[in-house]
Amino acid sequence: MKSPVKRFIRNIHLYLGLASGLVIVFVCLTGSILVFEKELEQAWHPERYTVAPATTPALSLAQLTAAVQAYKPKAKIGGFKVYADPARSVEVSLAGGPGGKEGGPKGNPSGKGNARAEGPGPAAGKPGEGGPGKGKGKGDGGPRLYVNPYTGAILGEINPRDNFFHTVEQLHRGLVAGKIGKLVMGVSASIFLFILGTGLVLWWPVARKALTPRLTVKWGSGWKRLNHDFHIVLGFYASLFLFVMALTGVGMSFDWVGQTINKVTNSPLKRPEPPVSAVPAAAAGPTAKVGADAVLALARQQAPNAESYSLQLPKEPTGSIRVAVLRPGAITENATDEVYLDQYSGQVISGQTYAQRPVGQRIRGLFKPVHTGAIGGLPTKILAFVIALLGATFPITGTIMWLNRIRKKGKKQPQLQAA
């Protein structure tokens, strides 16, 4: 470490770590909570998500609609999400507005869970996460109900923006401070990338014989040596994964990252507007529309082995019905095939499989599942959880190493003066 270059790199590593240490600890801890968001939510409220499969056929969506309207007379249904698993409840999203905000009867469960834990629900995908649709999910403005598909009983109600995990995510992504908080987190993630890079340079041994001590933890040593090894050795093993997490965090914090990816991959900078339905000419009676059951039957016919079917109903007379199908083995829960149907004739207006999406959109859609470890299922989630916890310890162990070094220099100074 006598080299002026390495001394300079060490100072960068030290002062950047001291400046952003608290933010890094906070981000890593909140990120570790979000890794198992879905699993925790379903464990806390199993009655909301699972039902006992019945021997009788499931009720139609029209019957479930009647049950929801009996529960909330003024509610307007925005979409459905139906699972192939017979033990799963049906998710019904309510459109925002007076009907969607109306509370249910007293005594009915309204646990504050997490609508986002289920991946893409009946609403369109979130911006930057690869979900279809334009902008924010249009069904996120109102509550979401969970309905027993066999009895029509309302199992629970949640508001996607009024729950524990949503608050944690807002803290994680922007400290609940809007654009400024998001900018702070983006800058912190960028600084973290420099800290990781300089840390790897400092870790790299000059001699081959020094490699082994930097790859193993001396468990029988004193606490100072253990603290040193936790920072140096575990930091090396976790650095690659933390680098990927920080990189995807930067990608989700700054819009210019997505725009650059679109330009490099020759992908469209904006998503196309959803297609419109052809409104029939005015007639004496009300205009007939395609029912949700007919749309669901068509989706099941086209993809009988799908894991889930999401239907987003149009709000406007010229709007179209969006159907998102999650096929088995999809890389993420947002990797759906989508079709738009005319709400009056039921004819397919346009369609796009996940493989047909622009490359830039697919890359940006991988940011969040890679960031949270959901890309590979439970094994990568466990890995992401462990890495996030380790990431929270490195600013602490690094600060302790710095304080020990200062104390050591302070003890040496009087000895030199005495000599």
Share of the chain above pLDDT 90, in %: 54
Q: Minimal CA–CA distance to 286: which of 360, 344, 207, 363?
A: 344
Per the prediction, the chain carries an average pLDDT of 84
pLDDT for position 413: 60
pLDDT in tens, 65-121: 999 999 999 889 999 999 999 999 999 999 864 444 444 443 333 333 333 333 334
* Residue 297: Cβ within 10 Å count: 13
pLDDT in tens, 29-77: 999 999 999 999 999 999 999 999 988 899 999 999 999 999 999 889 9
**Could you give the CA distance from residue 152 to residue 9 in angstroms, rounded to a whole number?**
64
Q: Minimal CA–CA distance to 314: which of 289, 283, 296?
A: 289
Q: Minimal CA–CA distance to 370: which of 129, 133, 38?
A: 129
Range 393-419 average pLDDT:
78
pTM over 0.75: yes
401-408: long-range contacts, CB 8 A cutoff, minimum separation 24? 401/227, 401/228, 401/231, 402/14, 402/18, 404/224, 404/227
DSSP 272-322: PPPP---PPPP-SSPPP---HHHHHHHHHHH-TT-SEEEEE--SSTT-EEE
Rounded to 10 degrees, the C-alpha dihedral 242/245/250/251 comes to: 150
**Could you give the CA distance from residue 71 to residue 73 in angstroms, rounded to a whole number?**
6
Give the list of residues 6+ apart from residue 17 with CB closer than 8 angstroms, or none. Answer: 24, 195, 394, 395, 398, 399
CB-based contact 338:324 (threshold 8 Å)? yes
Provide the strand spans (E) within 45-143: 77-83, 90-94
Secondary structure (H, E, C), 10-61: HHHHHHHHHHHHHHHHHHHHHHHHHHCHHHHHHHHCHHHHECCCCCCCCCCH
pLDDT for position 408: 79
pLDDT in tens, 232-281: 999 999 999 999 999 999 998 888 999 999 999 999 878 888 899 988 87
**Could you give the CA distance from residue 95 to residue 367 in angstroms, rounded to a whole number?**
28
Q: Dihedral of CA 250/184/373/128: which sign?
A: negative
pLDDT in tens, 297-333: 999 999 999 999 999 999 899 999 999 999 998 999 9
User: The tokens 């420099």 sit on which residue?
Assistant: 194
pLDDT for position 415: 57
pLDDT for position 177: 67
**Could you give the CA distance from residue 227 to residue 70 in angstroms, rounded to a whole number?**
61
pLDDT top residue among 325 and 141: 325
Band of the pLDDT at 385, cuts 50, 70, 90?
Answer: very high
**Could you give the CA distance from residue 229 to residue 342 in angstroms, rounded to a whole number?**
63
**Could you give the CA distance from residue 367 to residue 245 in angstroms, rounded to a whole number?**
9
Range 210-230 average pLDDT:
87
* Residue 114: Cβ within 10 Å count: 24
Q: Minimal CA–CA distance to 38: which of 49, 30, 51?
A: 49
Q: Is 3 strand, coil or helix?
A: coil
Q: Dihedral of CA 301/302/307/311: which sign?
A: negative
